[in-house]
Structure 1
Amino acid sequence: MTQLTLVIGNRNYSSWSLRPWLAMKQFGLEFNEIRISLYENLDYSSKIRQYSPSGKVPVLLHDTQTVWDSLAICEYLAETFPTLQWWPEDKVARALARSMTAEMHSGFQKLRQNMPMNCRTKYPGKGLVSGVQQDIDRITNIWQESRQKFWSGGNFLFGNFAIADAFFAPVVLRFVTYDVQLDPVSRNYVETVLTLPAMQEWIKAAKRETEVISQYEF
């Protein structure tokens, strides 16, 4: 099968890039990687458009297929490698996992805007403006729901690692950066995701980056 190539942005800031990257790593897929620094100069968008018609990262290249958007990429990979358990096997769990993933994909705007992903530094207490705590509470509530119902087979949201975990990985990093106070179940889940070798690989690489995007810094 033709080699997969994933085009990503800065590891320190690009939460959208982390999602398919982490999923591909966790499921043992071999892939090439092209990293494009975001907002570094006026030319960055044209560089991305060499690979992605949307002008945004991430984008997956496979044979003659171009797949952009993090959720579309994960769904494409689930269809391409159907023997891997990208979603929970149980129908009820799978429906909840897809609902949570879609909500993460399109929601939690207050959290995104006021607590941007940043792996290199700590901003305890920053970004907790009106509406952000409601997003945090909603996220921890659905974490608790999935873990209480389906985590008997492992320590991820549905026991084994799934696409839903990849989509919440950037939130895990945000909670660490901003020292968000969490209930024991959510705190345990954060630690579970952080200890993944692939997550540690991403964080270490992010800390080696030198680019600074001022809009994502306090």
Structure 2
Amino acid sequence: MSDDAEIGATLTISSKTYSAWSLRGWLLCKLAGLEVAEQQVPNDAANRAELLLLSPSVLVPRLTYRGASVWDTLAIAEFLNEQFPEAHMLPDEPIARAHCRSISGEIHSGFTNLRSALPMNLKVEHEMFPVFSGARPDIERIEAIWTDCLERYGGPFLFGEKPTVADAMYAPVATRFVTYAVAVSPPCQAYCRTILEWAPMKEWIAAAQAEPEEMEELDVEF
């Protein structure tokens, strides 16, 4: 265990199978190079009811580190970027950095139809799936974001050769497109493969697939 973990670096998460926000928070810690002790909130019915009473973010994920308690994924991203500037979680170039923050904010606050129609589920992969028509504009907008970034910065990640905050934010979307066999352009398919082959993602997916089957999906987790 690292010194950081010893002084109380803890990440509170929910189901690794279903919780997209937990995945984002965990990936952000990986980007920062911060080793965390995971504290997993049980997913039984009583906790489900309790979580719904807390706040829109459900306080999951929540990072506790050096006396700070930080929840909400964008807040965690900015906090870690301040604590670990050498990790370059955001692009170095100011215009690209602003772009990264903008598209990260967009996924943070939008795409509700996509989230409800295609919830994250890392234990299944459909060959065909009827996508709700209301989710189509969300899918098209995400394709446009990814295509623009890949063309502008050269890939394979959204802002070039190394993953950034934006990749952590969009990683659950990549899993959804694969899970539900969503037809996207070849460059976007390649980006989904890049995300799924990213070492931290492979680690998270393996842990998700090892979770007990009785763990239930939290409707509030997108």
- TM superposition score normalised by structure 1: 0.89
Contact 2:195–2:201 (Cα < 8 Å) also in 1: yes
CA distance in 1, matches of 2:151, 2:87: 24
Contact 2:14–2:42 (Cα < 8 Å) also in 1: yes
CA distance in 1, matches of 2:76, 2:206: 24
Which residue of the partner structure matches residue 36 of structure 2?
31
CA distance in 2, matches of 1:34, 1:97: 29
Which residue of the partner structure matches residue 185 of structure 2?
183
The alpha-carbon deviation at position 174 of structure 1 amounts to 0.3
Contact 1:7–1:33 (Cα < 8 Å) also in 2: yes
Which residue of the partner structure matches residue 158 of structure 1?
159
Output the aligned Cα RMSD.
2.4
Q: Secondary structure at the match of 1:13?
A: coil
Which residue of the partner structure matches residue 11 of structure 1?
16
Contact 1:45–1:56 (Cα < 8 Å) also in 2: no
Q: 1:110 to 1:48 in 2, by over 3 A?
A: closer
CA distance in 2, matches of 1:126, 1:215: 21
Q: Secondary structure at the match of 2:101?
A: helix
Q: Percent identity?
A: 41
Contact 1:114–1:127 (Cα < 8 Å) also in 2: no
Q: 1:43 to 1:147 in 2, by over 3 A?
A: closer
Q: Which moved more, 1:206-215 or 1:15-24?
A: 206-215
Q: Secondary structure at the match of 2:201?
A: helix
Equivalent positions of 1:1-218 (< 5 A) are: 2-38=7-43, 40-43=44-47, 55-126=58-129, 128-151=131-154, 154-159=155-160, 160-209=162-211, 210-213=213-216
Extract unaligned runs of 5+ from structure 1.
none
Extract unaligned runs of 5+ from structure 2.
none
- TM superposition score normalised by structure 2: 0.87
Matched residues, number: 212
